[in-house]
Structure 1
Amino acid sequence: MFIRQLLGILAAASLGVQAFSWPNDPYGQTELTRAPKGCWKPDSESKQFTLAVMPDTQYLYDENRIHPVPMEAAFEYVMSCNETRENIVFMAHLGDIAQNGLAEEYAVASKAFDLLDETGVAYSTLAGNHDIDSSTDDTRGSTPFLDAFSSKRFAHSKTYQGSNKGGYNSYHIFRAGGREWLLMALDWRLSNSSFDWANEVLSNHSSLPTIFTTHELVSPDTGKTEFSEYGEKVWDKLIKNHDQIFLTLNGHFWPAGRTHRTNSAGHRVDSHITNYQNRYYGGAGMIRLYRFDLEKNTIDVSTFSPWIHKLMKQGKANKLAKQEANLTSDANRFTMSVDFEKRFSKSKSTKSKRWDVKEVIPGTLAYWRFDGHKDQTRVSSKQTIKDLSGHGNVLVFHGANETSAHTMHWSSAHHPQQPGHGSLNFTGQKQPLRGSYFQTVDHAPINYATFEHGYTFEAFYYLPSSWNSDQNAWSSILSRWGTAGQANKTGAGVDSDEPIVSLSLSDDRELQWRVYPLHKNVGSTNWGHESPFDDWWHVAVVNNGTLTKMYVDGCEVVRNPQQWVPGLTTLNQPWMLGGYSYNGSIDQIFYGSIGDVRIVDRPLSIDEFLINSSAENKSPP
């Protein structure tokens, strides 16, 4: 390529013609210019805020035809809050990020999204038909798209709440206008299990105004905007019976259009197509802004290309670009009227409980508590438990041959120094295996955590006098799926079938922290003393990146090894609460009660533990 350009320049020079300079052509840039880091600091309490939407960018990432700069300019606009004064609180991409679903396409696109990650911008992505094999649903397994935009990418997002088992569907909760809003980001084609998952998410957040995003929903194919065949299925199975959904957004089709329907509760649901890939320069990184004004009860919508506006300021915009700077048709620039107070009277406008939890300290990766439920009521098989850290490490219920005598219940019982005034009562047994437990959703961020710089695991627990060593020994408070053998641990004393991390109770009710650290073949064990019956206890396991110590009610135990144990091995599989696996299968379920559980990615001092350090600690027996 360089030789051809050089020959062309020499030929032009010999003819006395000015040489053409490709590098100065703004339409020929194929690499990011690395926009300056933005200032993204939205005002979550202001009654005026903006949702940014970006549709199909696939023609900007098409095999060896790569042009990321328009997307970068759009992201720069989203980040540059001081200049735009838009108060952008969230950005949603509507799918078809790339044209062919190739790893090399996402390698470049991912760098553009890195700009948002570096600034902390809250955003969502979803798979369109060009991002994956369009003949598949969301059970398709691993793809280059998912490799680039899995839950691992969103681990540090304050809005990300979790994904379904396959990882292609997710949901976010963002704060704006003094209240919380739910945004669903759903795959090109949902499987039956994912429809169930989405319904459960919506049911669990029925008080939150909800924006529904997916790649295909409404279509202009008949000459007017109406639901596609697949869209009708989504309407019937998801949208119409969840009254909090007031707006749906999709790409895929063009031209842009809008329609509305009435849901089962008699309320209006607005549905919009947003897609500009057919226009000049593949849509030129076009974005749409939904400007909410909760005082005027309006949403003003506009559509434009920040990249073209940037070129116009520089005097570099060509004729076709200038025509695309702003789209002003009634499908692209309009105002919606929504009586927010009346429409969402069930929605609380107080601060999110998540932000009020003082136990979510710096470094908290997960925090689960179990208060707020009626005492001794059975835990539903569809129950999920929110991660109060805000990182989306949601717990989901799992049953193992439950009977009426072996079910899980909510309880108001708790450790006297426990922040949450509630617990889960487990009734597991080993022979035959009975009971139920919780585990993190697939692709939860904490499933991937390696804790190389240290950690603190805390839990409250209670053992009743009916605890039986034959049936209940070696059950876990907390454990990680994956065996030592699967992790290729081969050192002396290795049991290849045991889990790579577990906090369990021996047949003598001694706490055991058994782990396989990173970069080492041997396991490491911390032992506690015998746990007395019919009393609440707090356990903390603290690693400073080198050594690990166990504490019971803030008191250091004696059997802490002097062994270098950096980090924790992971096979990127879920954590279990109340479950223990052996040889890759569930083997034992906890018997007793578990209260608040917190995981922090740094070593805590005793006065930072969940227990009240100012109170007198119990003495170990």
Structure 2
Amino acid sequence: MCTSHDHSPTEAPQAGAGRRSFLRATALLGAAATAGVALPSVAEAAERGGRRPDTDSRRFTLAVMPDTQYLFDGPSIYPAPLEASLRYLLEHGEDDNIVFLTHLGDLTQNGAAEECAAIGEAFGILDRRGVGYSVLAGNHDIASSTDDQRGSTPYLDTFGPQRFRDKRTFGGASADGYNTYHLFRAGGRTWMVLALDWRLSAQGYAWAKDVLARHPRTPVILTTHELVVDDDTLSDYGQQLWDRLIADHDQIFLTLNGHYWPARRAIRKNAAGNDVHLHLTNYQNRYFGGAAMIRLYHFDLDRDVIDVETVSPWILGRAEKGLNALERQEMELSGDEDRFSVDIDFTARFSGFAPVPARPARPVSKMLIPGTAAYWRFEAPVSGTVRDLSGRGNDLTVVSVGGGSLGWSADHHPDQPGHGSLEFQGYKSPLKGAYLRTIDSAPLNSATFRDGYTIEAFYWLPADWDAAHHAWSGLVGRTGRNGSVGTVTDDPDEPLATLSLSDGPGPQWAVHPLNQRQLATNWGDETARETWWHLAVVNDGRHTTMYVQGCPVARNPHAPAIGIASSGRPWLLGGYEYADKIDQILHGRLGDVRIVARALPVSSFMTH
């Protein structure tokens, strides 16, 4: 569980996160004046400009605004801080890919008509641009002793369903109008914000459950005014929400609430055994009633993390005019409660209700692109000869060392065309295992690929892979001594070509080009065990580039390297020769392997 001083491993403080956003905010609002004074024309320009979010980007931001009640309190109405935050969202909507804003309630202090009208007018900044957002009633926006069946209120007149009906993110509302749900696209999928009233009635709970049932594959962020009260502690009503709604609905992975202060977090296991992150954020106790601070939840689906930062565009925008003592204290909120990271494996977390369908196997014919010299895949255990599916006769035979054998697994890289892999069980000393070699008559044995080549392979290493016993085994390589094709300036006993795994483990391509008297090498970074990797070595007839997961590595040499020297001897899969003798055998799984006699673009790799 998480406390402000002792964080769970899944929620680590992120020092320095969001500094760029603070600086951009300062630039945006640098000329803003004192409370109640209109923001400068640059902000108005921001309101007129901006673009819609990139719904396919795997990096996007959810903005969260807690209690703004002290800015809208009877005769003390100061919309400028709120307006600054809203305009900030417009200005940085593209840079941060801000997809949605959710307010956590207590928009006003007394729920009076004039207060609601004032904050409603401020939110017009977003309405005029069609920006999606949600609000909900806190205890100060309505009579706190009532639930969502309370009937008409100034809050409902201002922020009822009628306000949102034309927004593309609006999903619907409960019959009473106090509970709403909103759907936005981000990261290539649909997400929901379920915005719930200060107190749910039986009808409210039934409505929320129905919404979730009608969107069974949608991840949900639940917002309400009261839930978390302290570190790992829910309020009585928060516990009711957990017991009656959150715990049994695996879709809800994150909850956000205000009401209490200071900011706190909790993690609880739901009925499915998955973590639910519960966050309290509220700054009304700080300078100028919190100055409409906003939390920015930066989702990164590739890094499986949400980076959270807290900013006050209004205070930062006043810096150019000089800040008072309290503003200087509030200029940046950098404590563990306000700036942190939440680690979530989104695919695994959502797998129970929205599993990612496995990519189906692709026909061999789709892989036989022009120039294919050899193609092997392992969709069944090996017995005897492994056929070259290109039809060019580069068949493979099994070679056993020390009584070793090849196993088989249905496991494979998620983007691998063939669904299956061979299990190599190599060991260095004493040398034991089994590998594959091309038959003596294989045309590949004499091919030199003077005009270029692409060699692709999928591999996976087990947790017990150990450099002392398994390093420098080959995935794909050509036999024949380096010195067998002429005088060399380096080790003559190395093979003419090998795509091997270093002691990192990391991939290395070492090849004797036709135009050199020594081996040329490309090095990849270390690759994790128990993870499937795709490798590609691409030579365009002049230079060679190694790709890992379709991404070029840093250590690609610039020296010209033409073709691959040959002494007419076989190629190996899973084996590595030194001085014409097998020296190491792969310990891991090997998936599809393809060799093409031309340079391929990334878009033509087997992963596409």
Aligned with 2:121 (options 104, 111, 122): 111
Give 2:77's aligned residue.
66
Kindly, what percent of the aligned residue pairs are identical? 53
8 Å contact from structure 2 (residues 99, 132) kept in 1? yes
Contact 2:232/2:267 (8 A) holds in 1: no
CA distance in 1, matches of 2:188, 2:232: 33
Match of 1:265 in 2: 272
Greater Rg by CA: 2
Task: Identify the residue that residue 332 of structure 1 maps to in structure 2.
Answer: 338
Deviation at 1:28, TM superposition (A): 3.8
Match of 2:60 in 1: 49
- Aligned counterparts of 2:60 and 2:168: Cα–Cα separation in 1: 18
What's the TM-score, normalizing by structure 2? 0.51
Residue 149, structure 1, aligned to residue 159, structure 2: yes
> Does the CA-based 8 Å contact 1:40-1:81 persist in structure 2?
no
Number of matched residues?
322
| Helix, strand or coil at the partner of 2:328 | helix
Say if 1:25 and 1:86 are closer, same or farther in 2 by CA, change over 3 A: closer
Match of residue 341 from structure 1: 347
Q: Provide runs of 4+ in structure 1 moved above 4 Å.
A: 30-35
Give me the whole-angstrom Cα distance separating, in 1, the residues matched to 2:274 and 2:301.
18
d(CA) in 2 for partners of 1:28, 1:231: 35
Q: Which residue of 1 aligns with 2:494?
A: none
Supply the distance in 2 between the matched residues of 1:349 and 1:42 (Cα, whole angstroms).
24
C-alpha distance after superposition, 1:66-90 (max 9, x if no partner)? 11000001001111136x7111000
CA shift, 1:316, in A, is 3.3
Counterparts in 2 of 1:17-416, with a 5 A limit?
A: 26-29=33-36, 35-36=43-44, 37=47, 38-81=49-92, 85-220=95-230, 224-312=231-319, 314-345=320-351, 346-347=353-354
Judge conservation of contact 2:34–2:318 (CA < 8 Å) in 1. Answer: no
Partner SS for 1:153: helix
- Could you tell me which amino acid in structure 1 is paired with residue 132 of structure 2? A
SS in structure 2 at match of 1:323: helix
- Aligned residue for 1:26, secondary structure, equals coil
Output the CA distance in 2 between the equivalents of 1:129 and 1:31.
Answer: 30
Counterpart-to-counterpart distance in 2, 1:26 and 1:201? 44
Matches within 5 A, 1:521-600: none
For residues 470-523 of structure 1, give each alpha carbon's deviation from its aligned partner in whole angstroms, at most 9, with x where no partner exists. xxxxxxxxxxxxxxxxxxxxxxxxxxxxxxxxxxxxxxxxxxxxxxxxxxxxxx
What is the CA distance between 1:285 and its match in structure 2? 1.2
SS in 2 for 1:141: coil
Q: Is the 8 A contact 1:54 1:286 kept in 2?
A: yes
Report the CA distance shift for 1:156/1:349 in structure 2 as closer, same or farther (over 3 A).
farther
Query: Cα distance, 1:30 vs. partner?
Result: 6.3
Shift of the 348–68 alpha-carbon distance from structure 1 to 2, 3 Å rule, reads: farther
The CA distance in 2 between the partners of 1:33 and 1:114, in whole Å, is 17
- Structure 2 counterpart of 1:294, which letter? L
In 2, distance between residues paired with 1:208 and 1:25? 40
| Structure 2 letter corresponding to 1:327 | L
Displacement of 1:157 in angstroms is 0.6
Determine helix, strand or coil for the equivalent of 2:296. Answer: strand
Does the Cα contact within 8 Å between 1:52 and 1:288 map onto a contact in 2?
yes
Q: Give yes or no for contact 1:30–1:67 (8 Å, CA) kept in 2.
A: no
Partner AA of 1:296 in structure 2? R
Q: Distance in 2 between matches of 1:60 and 1:187?
A: 21
Deviates more, 1:38-47 or 1:70-79: 38-47
* 1:327 alignment partner, SS class: coil
Give ranges in structure 1 of 5+ residues lacking alignment: 1-23, 351-621
Partner Cα separation in structure 2 for residue 252 and residue 225 of structure 1? 16
The TM-score normalised by the length of structure 1 is 0.50
Structure 1 Cα separation of the partners of residues 121 and 354 of structure 2:
37
CA apart distance, 1:111: 1.1
Unaligned runs of 5+ in 2: 1-30, 358-608
1:431-478 CA-partner distances (Å, limit 9, x unpaired): xxxxxxxxxxxxxxxxxxxxxxxxxxxxxxxxxxxxxxxxxxxxxxxx
Q: Secondary structure at the match of 1:166?
A: coil
What is the 5 A alignment of 1:493-504?
Answer: none
Measure, in 1, the Cα distance between the counterparts of 2:356 and 2:59. 14
Q: What letter corresponds to residue 243 of structure 2 in structure 1?
A: D
Q: Conserved in 2, the CA contact under 8 Å of 1:247 and 1:269?
A: yes
Per-residue deviation, 1:26: 3.4
